[in-house]
């Protein structure tokens, strides 16, 4: 029973980092921009966060550094895609490739370094409840922040005027432009916020989730987060649940290995990637369902006056 509680706890932990990145990408995509650079932004943020945590010993500064790194890279992406009208897919790919190289280059000195003893968090009182305590209430604060943020984002998208404008831009930038909204500026803002969230996720990987820096350590989580937005049909709550589901699949491999299941570790490592493919296939099979839910201008450039 206790091992199941730990599996649940690990699932929430792994799900949280996916959730931050996927919610960031959701904000991008709701504004009509696909950023394939998630993996690269997360890698650079992971290095930035790790270096900050290593030098200052403060995890919160590390998250800020991660968010800044992610936001900065996203700004470069936005500059090209939104203001210079480059192809979103190609530019995002460039960001991912650059991020992989740059993080490896900058991070090489941090590979042998260890972070100081990690703080253990628990909610007093609740953490002592048997089973539920170790499953739910001994988590990093960001795990709860992710839940709160998801609810807030849902409210923002569906109940606030600004959220309505964001969605309008994602559906029809031409109409939003005609109504006088600064489409490109709002898109830029969405891209930077999305990048910052990917950055928090990247810093979470290197500071909390694994706590160490290894080249390429994000290991496809940025791409899985991209798949999650489709999987969740661009709904924040579903993104969070999907993130937990994938966190669970990731953790299941370690759990199975621990239980001594007679499968090669390589096949267990494949699980999250195969699960992503399976889920994509299942959700995309119904083309009209996807089309009905997808922001209509996704991936399409908008250049006023052309």
Partner 1 sequence: MLKFEARPEASRLMSVASPLLALAITVVIGTCLFMILGKDPAKALYVFFVEPVKSLYALSELAMKATPLLLIALGLAVCFRSNVWNIGAEGQFILGAVFAGGVAMQAGPTTSHWIVVPILLAGVLGGMCWAAIVALLRDRFNANEILVSLMLVYVADMVLNYLVYGPWKDPAGYNFPQTITFAAATKIPRLVDGFRTNIGLILALLAVAGFWVLLFRTYMGFQLQVGGLAPAAARYAGFSSRRALWTALLLSGGMAGLAGALDVAGPLGQLTPHVPAGYGFAAIIVAYVGRLHPVGTVFSAVLMSMFYIGGELAQSRLGLPKSLTGVFQGLLLFTLLACDTLIHYRIRWVAARLAPKHSTTAAKEA
Q: How far is the CB of 61 from partner 1 (least distance, A)?
A: 23
Does 254 bind partner 1 (CB under 8 A)? Our answer is no
Considering only 5, 7, 104, 165, the residue that binds partner 1 (CB under 8 A) is: 104
Per CB under 8 A, contacts with partner 1 among 261-280 are: 264, 266-267, 269-270, 273-274, 276-277, 280
Within 10 A of 31 (CB to CB), how many other CB atoms are there? 29
> How far is CA 73 from each of CA 3, 268, 296, rounded to the nearest angstrom?
40, 33, 25
**Of all helices (H) and strands (E), which one includes residue 15?**
helix 2-30
Does 195 bind partner 1 (CB under 8 A)? Our answer is no
Q: How far is the CB of 139 from partner 1 (least distance, A)?
A: 27
Does 292 bind partner 1 (CB under 8 A)? Our answer is no
> How far is CA 114 from each of CA 13, 51, 104, 178, 200, rounded to the nearest angstrom?
21, 10, 17, 54, 20
Q: Are 179 and 23 in contact (CB under 8 A)?
A: no
Considering only 12, 19, 36, 48, the residue that binds partner 1 (CB under 8 A) is: 36
3-class secondary structure, 116: coil
Burial (CB count <10 Å: 0-12, 13-18, 19+), residue 182: middle
Considering only 196, 227, 243, 251, the residue that binds partner 1 (CB under 8 A) is: 227
Question: Would you tell me which residues interact with partner 1 (CB under 8 A)?
Answer: 36, 40, 76, 80, 83-87, 89-91, 93-95, 97-102, 104-105, 108, 215, 219-220, 223-224, 226-227, 230, 264, 266-267, 269-270, 273-274, 276-277, 280-281, 284-285, 287, 290, 304-306
């Amino acid at each position: 029973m206790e091992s199941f509680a730990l599996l649940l706890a690990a699932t929430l932990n792994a799900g949280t980092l996916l959730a931050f990145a996927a919610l960031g990408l959701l904000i991008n995509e709701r504004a009509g921009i696909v950023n394939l650079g998630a993996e690269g932004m997360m890698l650079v943020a992971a290095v930035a966060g790790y270096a900050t945590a290593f030098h200052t010993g403060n995890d919160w500064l590390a998250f800020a550094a991660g968010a800044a790194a992610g936001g900065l890279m996203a700004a470069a992406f936005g500059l090209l895609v939104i203001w210079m009208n480059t192809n979103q897919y190609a530019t995002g790919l460039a960001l991912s490739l650059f991020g992989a190289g740059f993080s490896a280059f900058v991070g090489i000195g941090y590979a042998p370094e260890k972070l100081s003893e990690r703080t253990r968090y628990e909610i007093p009182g609740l953490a002592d409840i048997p089973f539920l305590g170790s499953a739910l209430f001994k988590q990093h604060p960001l795990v709860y922040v992710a839940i709160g943020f998801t609810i807030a984002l849902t409210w923002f998208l569906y109940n606030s005027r600004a959220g309505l404008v964001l969605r309008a831009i994602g559906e029809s930038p031409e109409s939003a432009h005609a109504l006088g909204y600064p489409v490109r500026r709002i898109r830029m803002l969405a891209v930077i916020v999305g990048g910052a969230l990917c950055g928090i996720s990247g810093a979470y990987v290197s500071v909390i989730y694994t706590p160490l820096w290894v080249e390429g350590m994000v290991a496809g989580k940025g791409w899985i987060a991209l798949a999650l937005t489709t999987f969740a049909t661009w709904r924040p709550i579903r993104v969070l649940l999907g993130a937990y589901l994938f966190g669970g699949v990731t953790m299941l491999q370690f759990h199975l290995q621990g239980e001594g299941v007679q499968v090669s570790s390589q096949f267990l490592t494949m699980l999250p990637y195969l699960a992503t493919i399976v889920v994509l296939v299942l959700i995309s099979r119904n083309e009209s369902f996807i089309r009905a839910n997808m922001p209509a201008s996704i991936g399409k450039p908008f250049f006023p006056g052309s």
